[in-house]
Chain A
Amino acid sequence: MHEMSIAEGIRDVIEDAARANGFSRVTRVRLEIGRFAGVETEALDFAFDVVMRGSVAEGATLEVIELPGKALCYDCGAAVEIRHRLDPCPECGGGKLLVQGGEEMRIKDLEVL
């Protein structure tokens, strides 16, 4: 449950961007969150509303784009997409997968006034 810290991270980045780009209000925030980033979207939604109060992004809509989980199979060497961290390899059924993508936590863009 570190969604509060994540929301604070979002606020930090937005406030820096507001200074750099000279906007005074954010109406929409789009995030890219990997499947394995450990972020609970519902909890983040709640934290986002609370943390943005009094900032340029107060009342902004939060939109989350989910990025797929990617892994390398140690057994067959294939680069595969998986839905859960512990899924077997969809190619060979092997259980030893090294996650290589899906841990992203990025702010993609902002719609601003």
Chain B
Amino acid sequence: MCTVCGCGGHSVEDAFRAHLEKTGQAGAPLAAHPAPLQSVAIPALGGALHDHGHAHAGHDIHLGHGPAGTEVPGMSQQRLIEIETDILSKNDAFAARNRAAITARHAFATNLVSSPGSGKTTLLCRTIEMLGEVPLAVIEGDQQTTNDADRIRATGAAAIQVNTGKGCHLDGRMVEAALARLGLPEGAFLFIENVGNLVCPAAFDLGEDAKVAILSVTEGEDKPLKYPDMFAAAGLAILNKVDLAPYCDVDLDLYEANVKRVNPAIEVLRVSARTGEGMQAWLDWLRAGLARKGA
């Protein structure tokens, strides 16, 4: 087969005959395979000269041999470079390194995401108290202040604050830097409390085992529908502050139905970090996750 134009069959003779037919020279005897003609190279198409041992009529246009190996109408071939790379591939590479480091330690990492004020830090403090003497580490993401890391450290746990300045989310690089300073104990729970933001953190993998979306009952039942990306990306949703439900005219079943409408595969837990309601189920979920990591 002619490797330039793809004409012809499997044997050399078949190939040549087919090629002659195609190029209108079928009458020519086989023995008279002429000396190689040069195809016209069309610079704009990136067609290189080729000198394989059979005749090409001088007008062939061979597409797909430029630097890009493809053709796109309206784009000049020689200048087209196929990238096919995920835009967040750099972040994903950091996340993959983090995930490998976390797995090597048999640790279980959760990325806690929610809008500001859903009670992430209170939930985390309560969780740390109830887990008792287990290895754990906390990365706190905010735009400003070390308030949250201070609250976590007050429980006796190791915590590091990452202030993003103007940034609306943590990214893989920040978590790698935090892990390098924090030191992750073997078999630990790693809690990464993301910047309070129900939109942006959904897109940035940090290397966690699961995203946990926290939604407090005061936020409104339609929040999962208004901000679906976060709930679609999460493996677990915690409906927090359920102790306030009687005062807020909210329908907890509707909350749960809306979360599941966005993500049918998500688990939902009803929790009050303040009263301790539902906390046991959350701890069980965490311990099961850690057990899966082989600690």
Interface 1/0s, chain A 1-35, versus B by CB < 8 A? Answer: 11001100110110001000101000110010000
Q: Which of A38, A74, A86, A96 contacts B203 (CB 8 A)?
A: A38
Cβ-defined contact, A112 with B262, below 8 A: no
Cβ-defined contact, B90 with A13, below 8 A: yes
Cβ-defined contact, B199 with A38, below 8 A: yes
A32 vs chain B, min Cβ distance (A): 9
Cβ-defined contact, A28 with B91, below 8 A: no
Whether B79 is near chain A, meaning CB under 8 Å from some CB there, is yes
Q: Which of B68, B85, B88 contacts A6 (CB 8 A)?
A: B88
Cβ-defined contact, B76 with A106, below 8 A: no
CA–CA, A99 to B80, complex, Å? 32
Interface 1/0s, chain B 138-170, versus A by CB < 8 A? Answer: 000000000000000000000000000001110
Q: How many A-B residue pairs have CB under 8 A?
A: 103
Cβ-defined contact, A108 with B82, below 8 A: yes
Q: Which residues of B contact A (CB under 8 A)?
A: 67-68, 72, 75-76, 79-91, 167-169, 171, 199-200, 202-204, 225, 228-229, 232, 260-265
Q: Which residues of chain B are near A96, meaning CB under 8 Å? A: 260-261, 264
Closest to A98 in B: B264
A13-B87, A96-B260, A96-B264 are known contacts. Are A109 and B199 too (CB-CB below 8 A)? no
Interface size on A, residues (CB 8 A): 35
Q: Which residues of chain B are near A17, meaning CB under 8 Å? A: 81, 83, 85
Whether A82 is near chain B, meaning CB under 8 Å from some CB there, is no
Cβ-defined contact, B85 with A107, below 8 A: yes
Q: Which of A1, A31, A36 contacts B87 (CB 8 A)?
A: A31
Cβ-defined contact, B229 with A105, below 8 A: no
Given contacts A17-B81, A99-B232, 18 further A-B contacts (CB under 8 A): A2-B169, A5-B167, A6-B88, A9-B87, A10-B87, A13-B87, A13-B89, A23-B81, A28-B75, A38-B202, A86-B225, A86-B261, A98-B264, A105-B86, A106-B85, A109-B72, A109-B80, A113-B79
Cβ-defined contact, B264 with A5, below 8 A: no
Closest to B264 in A: A96
Cβ-defined contact, B83 with A109, below 8 A: yes
A-B contacts, 23 listed (Cβ < 8 Å)? A2-B169, A2-B200, A2-B203, A6-B203, A21-B67, A28-B75, A36-B232, A38-B199, A38-B202, A74-B264, A86-B228, A86-B261, A86-B262, A96-B260, A97-B264, A98-B265, A105-B88, A107-B84, A107-B86, A109-B81, A112-B79, A112-B80, A112-B81
A7 vs chain B, min Cβ distance (A): 9
Closest to B86 in A: A106
Whether A95 is near chain B, meaning CB under 8 Å from some CB there, is yes
Q: Which of A1, A9, A86, A112 contacts B200 (CB 8 A)?
A: A1
A6 vs chain B, min Cβ distance (A): 6
B204 vs chain A, min Cβ distance (A): 8
Enumerate the 10 nearest inter-chain pairs by beta-carbon distance, A residue then B residue, closest first.
Answer: A2-B200, A9-B87, A107-B83, A96-B264, A105-B87, A109-B82, A110-B81, A38-B229, A85-B228, A12-B90
Closest to A109 in B: B82
Q: Which residues of chain A are near B80, meaning CB under 8 Å? A: 109-112
